[in-house]
Each structure stands twice: as structure tokens, then as C-alpha cells.
Amino acid sequence: MRTALRAVRRGALRLALLGAVVLVVPDGSVHPATISLTTVGTAKAVDNGDDVLWVLALGSEAGPGEDVMEGLTDAVQLVGVRPETGRATAIGLPRDLYVADRGARLNTVLARAGVEGVAVEVERLLGIAPDLVLVTGTEGFLSMMGTVGPVEVDSPIRFDTEDGEVEIRPGSNTLDADQALSYATTRDTLPLRSDFARAANHQRLLLGVLARLRAAEDDEGYLEAVTLSALGGLETDLSPAEAFRVIASLTTVDPSRTDACIIRGTFGDESGAAVVYPDEDQAEAVGRDARDDARLQGGCRDAG
């Protein structure tokens, strides 16, 4: 009986939220967008819960009041979610991956060619076409994380964040929004100043957020508050119903059934800039493995 009442309550709350979304989304262009969510290609998986929904998540350096589309993208993660099974896969791409066709690093493509340009390069490397591209700036990240609440991040090593504000200990760490931002942006105090290590930290933070969303899904008003927080600064071409379905689908993900992989490469130099030449064999194999079911049954296929 309690379960049935809870389901009725959640259904009523989400119907009310959907009505609020109708009011909020059209007004998104009036205020500076802090989060952008854009469809790419046909994006059929947005409407079909049986398919894998592939979201290319980009963390823009844009600060408050700046256009999220114009900053360098120092976080690049392709995330596949299959709501039907609760499975997900995150494939991390270091920002310095060299894009030979453009003669530039991956983190510059957004400002030069927009979300479509980044999606094209990711598809060329992994063989997976993103359905959506999510771009979050500093302000949007802090707003969302503030609503999500403290998250648990498991670290294999000890380090201090670059700003000196957070000491990350081996094992579990509880991070609020500001601490999560410090954690996600830190590179210089990581071993070898590694972008591979930073990309792995982005995945650990993602797992923490997914675990928090799943644990709090049944808390009255929680998912609704998170969704409305995102919509407050959201610029999107999705319909209100589609936007809600995408955000709600995240609560289906079981962090214990989520795979993670970082695409590796070799270091080099192009016109005086440090770059990483991607391991194209690894990228192709990982993409082929995960494309249809959001699983990495063959592992990450790297030596790290």
C-alpha cells in the first residue's frame, strides 16, 4: 500500500513539474544560459526508452555571465544510459586529444565549430553518434550541484585541489558544490599533472552524482527541485516533455552497473602546443563494444 501511495504521489508531483516546465523552458532565452542541452542528428533515443541515450557532456570554462559555448571544454565525457536495464557507460576523452582534421586540440572545437562540430569528432573517434550535447559552465555546475546536494567521491590517492581549499583523501570523500568544482577542475596537483587522471576524477564525480540521484529519488520533491534548478538556466531545443524524460532517466542508472573508461594516447607537440595523439584502436574497440547496450564487456582495453 505504501509503495502504491508513493507512486501516486510521485506521479502527481511530476505532472505538476511538467506543467512548470512548460512555463520555464520558453523563458530560457530571457536569461543568460548556464546550461545548454542540444539535440544532434535525429536523436531518436530521446523518445525511445528502449534505446541507449548517448549524451556528450562538456564542461566549459565559461564563468558567470559568459557564454558557455565560447569557453574551452576541459571536461569531455560521452555517457550512454539505457533506462530499460539501469546500465550506463562513461567514456572520457582528455582535453588535449589532437584532432588532425582541424589541426587543433579537442577542447577548442566547441568555440570554433559548435556542439555539432564536437559531436562529429567524437563520432569519428568512437563510432558513436551522440543524441544530445550537454554544455555546462561554472555557474550552471554550481547551481546543479547545490541542488543535488553533497556527493560521495571515492579517490584512489591523496591530493590537494589546486586552489588549496580541499584535501582529497584516499577512500570516500563528501563534497559540496564548491568543493566538487575544485575537485573537477584540478590538474596541476595530480600525479604528472595528468589529464588522464583528471578525466578519471570527472567520472568518479559523475558516479557520485548518479548515486545521489538514485538514493534520493523517492524523497518528496527532490527530483523535481533538481529538474527545475537545471531548467532555470537551461537553453535547449528539446520539448518540455523530452527535457523532463532526459533528466528523469538519470535516476534509472545503477552506479554499480556503470562502466567507465578513459581513451588513452601518446604525448606529442603540434605548433608548440602539447597534445595527445589518441589510441585509435582502443577508441574504436571501446565504442563498438558500448554502442548498442551501454556496456563494456571487453573492458577498457588499455594498459593503464
Q: Domain locations in the chain?
A: 2-290
pTM confidence score: 0.86
Helix (H, G, I), strand (E, B) or coil at 248: helix
Helix (H, G, I), strand (E, B) or coil at 128: coil
In this predicted model, what pLDDT tens digit does every residue of 83-98 receive, in sequence order?
889 899 999 999 999 9
In this predicted model, what pLDDT tens digit does every residue of 187-226 receive, in sequence order?
999 988 888 999 999 999 999 998 988 887 777 777 777 7
**Using an 8 Å Cβ cutoff, are 10 and 222 in contact?**
no
Task: Say how far apart CA 191 and CA 38 lie, in whole Å.
Answer: 35
pLDDT at 90: 96
Nearest residue to 60 via CA among 52, 70, 51, 48: 70
CATH number 3.40.630.190 given to 2-290: yes
In this predicted model, what pLDDT tens digit does every residue of 24-81 receive, in sequence order?
333 444 455 678 889 987 666 666 656 899 999 999 988 778 888 888 998 999 999 9
pLDDT at 188: 94
Percentage of the residues of the chain whose pLDDT score is greater than 90: 55
**Using an 8 Å Cβ cutoff, are 76 and 162 in contact?**
no
